[in-house]
Structure 1
Amino acid sequence: MAFIQYLVFDGTALPLPDSYEVEMKDVEADSGGETEAGTAQRDVVRLGVVSIQADFSVSPKWLKVLTGFKQKEKIGVEYFDTESLEMRKTEMYMEGYKAGLVKDTSFKGLWKVSFTLREF
């Protein structure tokens, strides 16, 4: 059985994530809000800005690769779009990077890595 490829960073296919969550938010201007009449006014600057929360259980080799991507200002990302159920390309940056040791093994451990990707 073939798995879906959820994330590709700069042409590097990442391993299957433990969890994968896509969120789409609208960016609103400060001029929006509530009018004097009490109605809501939205001044949308950009629709559907994507952020992706992902968690991985990885080997030390993948820990090093993912940490390398954390150091980059922007990453060319192909991600599985939950709206269209197809791969989509965009540029993103990584924030909230966490890496923790799950289990010490003779191969330098099993690591839990989590981060959030945000679209430019």
Structure 2
Amino acid sequence: MAFIQYLRFEGVNLPLPDSYEVSLNDVEADSGGETEAGTIQRDVVRMGVVEISVSFSVTPTWLQRLTEYKQMDSIVVQYFDPETCEAKTTDMYIEGFKSKLEKDTSYKGLWTVSFTLKEF
């Protein structure tokens, strides 16, 4: 059975994630909000900005690689889009990077890494 390739950074396939959640958000201008009449006015600047929350169980080698990606200003990300069931490519950055030692082994441990990818 073949697995879907959910994420690819700069052309490099990432390991199969433990969790993978895609959100589409709208970016609103500051001019929107509630009017004096009590109605809501939305001034949408951009619709469907992709945000991906993901977590992995990885070896120290992948922990180091993912930490290097975190330090990059921009990453070319190919991701699996659940709306179209196809791969899409966009520029993103990493926010909220967390790493946690799950189990200490003779190979420097098993790590859980989680972060959020945000589209520019």
Tell me if both proteins adopt one fold, taking TM over 0.5 as the criterion: yes
Partner of 1:101: 101
Partner of 1:49: 49
Flag structure 1 segments of 5+ consecutive residues without an equivalent: none
Task: Report the AA paired with residue 10 of structure 2.
Answer: D
SS, match of residue 72 in structure 1 = coil
Q: Which runs of 4+ in 1 moved over 3 A?
A: none
Distance 1:27 1:53 in 2: 18
Flag structure 2 segments of 5+ consecutive residues without an equivalent: none
Partner of 1:70: 70
Write out per-residue CA displacement over residues 28-82 of structure 1, whole angstroms, 9 at most, x where no aligned residue: 0011112222222110000011111000000111111101101100000000111
The alpha-carbon deviation at position 87 of structure 1 amounts to 0.5
Distance 1:84 1:35 in 2: 37
SS, match of residue 36 in structure 1 = coil
Task: Report the AA paired with residue 7 of structure 2.
Answer: L
Task: Report the AA paired with residue 10 of structure 1.
Answer: E
Number of aligned pairs? Answer: 120
What is the TM-score when the length of structure 2 is the normalising length? 0.97
Identity fraction in percent = 68
